[in-house]
Amino acid sequence: MRGSPPIPRDPQCRFTTVTLLALACLAASALTSSAQVAPPSQTEVELILLGTGYPRPDPQTAGPAAAVVVNGKVFVVDAGRNVTNRLWATDYPLKDIQAVLLTHLHSDHISGLPDLFTTSWIFSRYTPLELYGPAGTENVADAILKMFEVDIPIRRDLTELHAAEGATINPHEIYEDGIVYEDADVRVTAFRVNHEPVKHALGYKFETGQKTIVISGDTRPSENLIKHAHGADILVHEAYLPEHFDRVDSTEVAENLKRYHTSAVEAGEVAAAAGVNVLVLTHLIPAGAEETFIARASKHFTGKIVVGSDLMRF
Ligand SMILES: [Zn+2]
Ligand SMILES: [Zn+2]
């Protein structure tokens, strides 16, 4: 556990595990400040599972969240319980959050968002939080600002004097499939999935020069997801074991839940239909059943299957 905020690093020098790049970074840092530093020769992409759980509390498992980091820019997909602690553990500075993208507004996917907003501001995010999500995202942003209306003026104007811009949120509501963010390193596409009776639920695709990563959000098996995930390097997909719902819920509730989620067998079918390279299972209902998840998902999918756990990196 660290006692002070992470030290901002030269974005060119972020991936020091690559020896050659590290040497290049050392050389670059030795140059005078007026010297031109060459741009990265290739896109560096990392997927980190920040939370692989669901609404049930679990000390070992945070709520649903993942980070896709592209050349040091951190895109957080969903913000479940404990997302801020998990992101802190990755060593990426909270100020490097480029955007937070919500798949839908179920509580388990947004309950960590107020903490992520305020803590990233307090620990040096000085630009607005760019918040993407379905219809209703503006209301979530307004509610968070209302929640902290006593706190913000004190930290901003009286004590810590944190940057005013960091205490604001720019909401971007998404109503149709399409590109929602694009820069020289990454293109992010949102697409509709089927989580009825949740009306507005999205998946996200990250395309970079190095790899394509698709995150399902919560959904029943979705043809639209299969279309957008076609040929992806990594598909991060939710999965459940039906016997768990049968054990802990009434018959009616269990059937309701099965109707709007994807079983492990179905997740394998989706991955096979999309022709992805790697299937990463998350939003695991329940945790602690890795072998069963693998056995079920591999009925239809012959590629690599990983049962996610918090802070797993790809
Ligand atoms: Zn969920
Ligand atoms: Zn949900």
| Angle made by CA atoms 278, 282, 283, in degrees to the nearest 5 | 160
Q: How confident is the model at residue 228 (pLDDT cuts 50, 70, 90)?
A: very high
Q: Which helix (H) or strand (E) holds 282?
A: strand 278-285
Nearest to 308 by CA among 282, 285, 289: 282
User: What secondary structure does DSSP assign to 128-185, as a single string?
Assistant: -EEEEESTTHHHHHHHHHHHTTTHHHIIIIISS---GGGG-EEEEE--SSEEEEE-SS
3-state helix, strand, coil in the chain (%, to 5): 30, 25, 40
Of the candidates 108, 142, 218, 233, the residue annotated as catalytic is 108
Q: Set out the domains of the chain in order of their start, with CATH numbers.
A: 43-307 (3.60.15.10)
DSSP state, residue 39: P
Q: State the distance from the centre of ligand 1 to the C-alpha of 38, rounded, in angstroms.
A: 42
Q: State the distance from the centre of ligand 2 to the C-alpha of 198, rounded, in angstroms.
A: 7
- Per-residue pLDDT averaged across 94-114, rounded? 98
Q: State the distance from the centre of ligand 2 to the C-alpha of 254, rounded, in angstroms.
A: 14
Q: State the distance from the centre of ligand 1 to the C-alpha of 64, rounded, in angstroms.
A: 7
Convert the pLDDT of each residue in 233-265 to its tens digit. 999 999 999 999 999 999 999 999 999 999 999
User: Tokens standing for 29?
Assistant: 């840092």
Q: Which ligand is the nearest neighbour of the Cα of 80?
A: 1
Q: Which ligand is the nearest neighbour of the Cα of 106?
A: 2
Convert the pLDDT of each residue in 288-300 to its tens digit. 999 999 999 999 9
| Angle made by CA atoms 180, 284, 53, in degrees to the nearest 5 | 70
Q: State the distance from the centre of ligand 2 to the C-alpha of 195, rounded, in angstroms.
A: 7
pTM: 0.87
Residue that wins the pLDDT comparison between 24 and 94: 94
Q: Which ligand is the nearest neighbour of the Cα of 219?
A: 2
Q: Which ligand is the nearest neighbour of the Cα of 257?
A: 2
Instruction: Give Rg (Cα) of the chain.
Output: 20
Q: Kindly report the number of other CB atoms within 10 A of residue 163's CB atom.
A: 14
Could you give the C-alpha distances from 223 to 90, 191, 271, in angstroms and in order? 33, 11, 11
Convert the pLDDT of each residue in 171-193 to its tens digit. 999 999 999 999 999 999 999 99
C-alpha span between 68 and 64 (Å, rounded): 14
Residue 270 in contact with residue 222, Cβ under 8 Å?
A: yes
Q: What is the pLDDT of residue 19?
A: 38
> What is the bridge-based pairing of β-strands 65-70 and 73-77?
antiparallel
- Per-residue pLDDT averaged across 109-119, rounded? 98
Q: State the distance from the centre of ligand 2 to the C-alpha of 261, rounded, in angstroms.
A: 8
Q: Is 246 a catalytic residue?
A: no
Q: Kindly report the number of other CB atoms within 10 A of residue 43's CB atom.
A: 14
